[in-house]
Structure 1
């Protein structure tokens, strides 16, 4: 993958939900539209790792024939005080070459559409929200992206904006680059068994780092489990041809 460049623009230190997001003028920011991956209708673009399935497979392998899995839980269940619930942290998005130019159209008649198409994603029972900063009409707007089981994310401040349906004489200026977001997990998965045999305990827990599987992208980082969500970011801007000509300096292939 192309070498990544961390953009300081995309490192807010607080978390807000789409319903709470506001512009500097107090106007509500439209939430991002999240397309969730489905096993029944898998995307040809997205390879999805299911952390819940990986945990279940590990427990059944460890237990073997000494019991039957009853329940397991990333955040609840019976556990000792030293076995903390699993916590997920989504690090700021890192963008590659092609997105280091933050110039944008000043004309309010121009239309912007941002998309994050994910090629390697992850599904978990945890919240995987991350904030990104986007430029819109000379303002920096904070938009919350939910990466959990996401295959595609779209955002525009204009209602129902679709680049394939924009009307009128337009010219497209597009930013495009790879992006990645490292997600780290810390804590213990608790589980309960039934029909136990031998010395197998009915309740137990394991450190989530034991789900390490580099073949599918789950790596151990010190005392954490790490996974990189990756994909392609695109910034579409459409406006009248003369406006695009004035701002063609930010266009690239």
Structure 2
């Protein structure tokens, strides 16, 4: 499936222009709670397995480092980058709500994710419905299965009655890239095997896992479903036409 950037989205990546950045709540992926819905690539595990295969019986792996460890100057530490999120087409609202006692909930559910020793942060700018100002939210997609951020409305009253909910969703993707060398230290070395060495992270490329090598970088696409919900107090909610959709 090909995803494209949509210039009219309310949740476009935009400059924050000095406004405070909010942190999205993160639900971390856990192998014990893994399901068929979420697939997670683990770079730390893959790096350890790669070194073990390279060394074989000529030494014992003691430690390895994405950013530290002994390394020549020509073998720099691994750095990471997350490109702006790209959103696919989504459904538009069919009804509006004439009620100000609402809050917006933005959810990024990750289906294909990645775990690494590095932070994988990206800023997204969302525009809550009925508000003129954008809000910049930081997402750390490293090892995350779900990221959530919501507005707070003092007028939103909790009750046992089901609240009115308007929702729209679409696919999203974020390209993550890694560049540099993973350093490692061996013990009980045999022959001419050095105690300290490093390998280019592009050596972890694996088409089956979605890890590709481009321009001396290891690239992976984090993908999932983005949801924007408008949750309102149920009393006094009336339909009145059409909400301007945040997804075109």
Q: TM-score range with shorter-chain normalisation?
A: 0.7 to 0.9
Would you say 1:250 and 2:230 are equivalent positions? no
Q: Which residue of 2 aligns with 1:141?
A: 135
Alpha-carbon RMSD: 3.0
1:213 to 193, 201, 206: 206
For the residue of structure 2 that corresponds to 1:245, the secondary structure is coil
Instruction: Describe the shift of the 1:248–1:108 C-alpha distance in structure 2 as closer, same or farther (beyond 3 A).
Output: closer
Q: Which runs of 5+ in 2 are unaligned?
A: none
Instruction: Describe the shift of the 1:166–1:78 C-alpha distance in structure 2 as closer, same or farther (beyond 3 A).
Output: farther
Q: TM-score, normalised by structure 1?
A: 0.83
Would you say 1:94 and 2:86 are equivalent positions? yes
Would you say 1:68 and 2:60 are equivalent positions? yes
Q: TM-score, normalised by structure 2?
A: 0.84
Would you say 1:36 and 2:28 are equivalent positions? yes
Higher helix share: 1
For the residue of structure 1 that corresponds to 2:40, the secondary structure is strand
2: CA distance, partners of 1:247 / 1:166:
26
Would you say 1:5 and 2:7 are equivalent positions? no
For the residue of structure 1 that corresponds to 2:67, the secondary structure is coil
1: CA distance, partners of 2:239 / 2:67:
51
2: CA distance, partners of 1:122 / 1:166:
38
Equivalent residue pairs, number: 236
Q: Which residue of 2 aligns with 1:125?
A: 117
If asked which structure has higher relative contact order (CA below 8 Å, sep 6+), I would say 2
